[in-house]
A and B are shown apart, each in its own frame.
Chain A
Amino acid sequence: MPLVTRNIEPRHLCRQKLPRVRNELECVTNIDLANVIRQLGSLSKNAEDIFGELFTQAKTFASRVSSLAERVDRLQVKVTQLDPKEEEVSLQGINTRKAFRSSTIQDQKLFDRDSLPVPILETYSTCDTPPPLNNLTPYRDDGKEALKFYTNPSYFFDLWKEKMLQDTKDIMKEKRKHRKEKKDNPNRGNVNPRKIKTRKEEWEKMKMGQEFVESKEKLGLSGYSPALVYQNGSIGSVENVDAGSYPPPPQADIASSPSPSFSEDNLPPPPAEFSYPADNQRGSVLAAPKRSSVVSPSHPPPAPPLGSPPGPKPGFASPPAPPPPPPLGIPPPPPAMGFGSPETPLPPSPASFPPHPDFAAPPPPPPPPAADYPTLPPPPMSQPAGGVPPPPPPPPPPGPPPLPFSGGDGQPAVPPPPISDATKPKSSLPAVSDARSDLLSAIRQGFQLRRVEEQREQEKHDVVGNDVATILSRRIAVEYSDSEDDSSEFDEDDWSD
């Protein structure tokens, strides 16, 4: 719904209850005139705002123009001093000098809270602020802000950032593996020789024009690739991008607005960035429908489908790594649960989540077999809690949870008891009846180790630059170095043998 930027305030001159007077017509006239004066007041306020914005813009342009004028003057002086005969042009100079690169500063954070015009900011400020859930933050064990479970304006950006970082890591791993394989068999030659790429094919393809070159993944016309990339989620053709990425400097022409980053076209664009002030209303509107599915984008992959939000059921479907948002199908609490099954969901969970002790709050009545697992530690239990987005009020300490947890634990385990038994990777879990204390201590240790690892990972993440441009550029760099490696290998094959 579009918001009106500037409103003139008393909209209706005389729609109010009239006081008891002798002469009502005069009364109405007087009230109208008073409201007209108020309207004039708000009109002048809006006018001042308008002219203020235009003035600041014009001022920045004026400063830019003056600096440009200075540069032109300096250049003028310099050019007159140039003498074509005197200038030496050495071949080494051409090759060794750094090529000209125009400054590629990309505009970022365009639709941020800071760039919001003042009148609209005032409109936002008349809305209710979100509830002060951040007061509950010191009671959380996992260090996340409690308000983020209610409304998180940076949710989409975080999700996208995770995805990009993950992709860069994957690409680097693949490269390392590739390099390692090459290093491992240096003398074996090419077991699977690469298909001989001749330049002729490439020229043929480019004959009709750069746009018609078929991309590696058959994205069709490069003009449409941005749209298609959204479906694929992958980077478009490398050939297209290679040819277009380094236009010769003299072509830096005036009329054409330079395409700032083809790379941004090819990658799924980051979501619009939101700053995160304390009273962000938009975020809550957006977040409300979405809250039901994911708690924190920083742990998307490993989350087993956790409990659906309003239901007090502890969702703990057995398969360890389904995608978090959609399949929140929680198996209805079955009357009886198998013994071995609760163990199976446990191991993956500590790997993925820090404890969510707040899950302990809505425990279903523990079915009788669950009583056999009093010693099951809190952390795995907390995992399903993560999926419950509006967190129940202050989470109880992790001490008491084991008992209610075991109740919740039992339920989802039932559906695929045989399968989960078969696929159990962590064979270290002994049978239930024996050495429960050993199990407990082992799992506790394991869990704590992972917690430290996660902290280290988090610290590493914080070092990374937090804006779209750096993340994208890193990803592109990795992609390109990857393709360059490939092509360099191709060249080596060309020359070897």
Chain B
Amino acid sequence: MPATDFQESSSSPSSFGFSILSRRRDQVHSMESTHEATSQEIELEAFQRQVAERFQDLAAADSHELLSIPWIRKLLDTFLCCQEEFKVIVMNNKSKLNRPPMERHISDFFERSVKALDVCNAIRDGIEQIRQWQKQLEIVLCALGNQRSIGEGQFRRAKKALVDLAIAMLDEKDSNTTLAHRNRSFGRHNAQREQRSFGHFRSLSWSVSRSWSAARQLQAISSNLVAPRGNEIISTNGLNVAVFTMNYVLLFVMWALVAAIPCQDRGLQTHFYMTRQFLWAAPILSLHERILEEVKKRDRRNSCGLLKEIYDIEKCARHMNELTDSIHFPLTDEKEREVKQRVEEVRRVYVAIRDGLDPLERQMKRRKMIWATVLGIKRVKSLNLLDGPSYLLKKLQFSPYQKKNIEQLKGIDTIIAKSKQAKNPTTAQRVNTPGALERPRLAEDLSSVYNPSLMQMLGAAKRASNFILFKDLWPPNSLKSKGK
């Protein structure tokens, strides 16, 4: 599908999100003429546009490129860029993101991100799986590639590798059912012997348990993902549009990865909330549609992954198989030429995979790492930097070793300097009902009168809290045992 389609479709209904932001900006202009609000809204609009542009770029891929390793890498790059831009928005709007309803949207996003991290882990296993197949191709090349003349022996070797490859790919596809039958005990070699050829390519999905399902994970990511309504957009200054956008991008990228790369219980029936009101919706939904069409194609329906290179493996393995079946010795010159041709085909596929997988895996890992770090820090930092520079200045006054700490804080300071925000922590305070107070003696007494947030923390620390609060018996068991 050519890229121009999206331009067309984006011009009419998809500018809805936009227009609301603009309208809001107009209101702000007329009422209070605040420049800050404008810059924030410009930032949000830019985010929408950038996401849309990136996905238009992805959607411009022709059917040959779509779902190839280079395309997947581009998809990951796109995701990271969106993530980075989103991060900036989060940093600039911390104070707003810490208040309802944005607080809830952000924590929903974190939840989805955690689920997506699991998908990434499974995808990494899938990449490893493809690498195993690559090894079988290597054997085929080794057997038939560099030979002076091709004899029966080499063909037998290649054939065996092809059979193993077919079993491995089949195995991956049925991993769910076969894995369930696995007997988890050491004394099973008799049974194992019979299915030896199956056993030694057993796919091992390391990251997740056998019951884990990519389909269910995608379902969980997509649940409750609905475009924000107009009044919500206005009340959050459009911030929830940014969060929704990031959520949607996250869902689509994970879905596309699962579609392309083998992983446990792939299922692509995830419901995609159909929305046309955003700039980026058209290219994403078009990609979604095109990938679904790929699924429906007859020769791909039973595939273990829509990755173009997997298709190439299947294809060249099939050709090679047909060839080995039809071959008689001694080889005619014509057959020999055909063999050479097929071997070249295998080599091309092999090289594409060899050269593509390593960077892809590195990219996966790197993305995963950056992302996990961001996730972890953000959980707290978004709350903690509420006070802005004053928090840090105060901290500086303390420092007995100021030099070091100034270095440490400079980085954060510049980030904060960018954000102009309220530093009033009182808004964050929770509801509190002191009531008639009795002198607290037990945790249970306390819970009725004491601040819920702290009590939550205490209640959760069940084992420790009694010691901490009321008996002063420390350390808890874990620390005691460490002492030795």
Q: Do A and B come from one complex?
A: no
Enumerate chain A interface residues (CB-CB to B < 8 A): none
Which B residues form the contact surface with A (CB < 8 A)? none
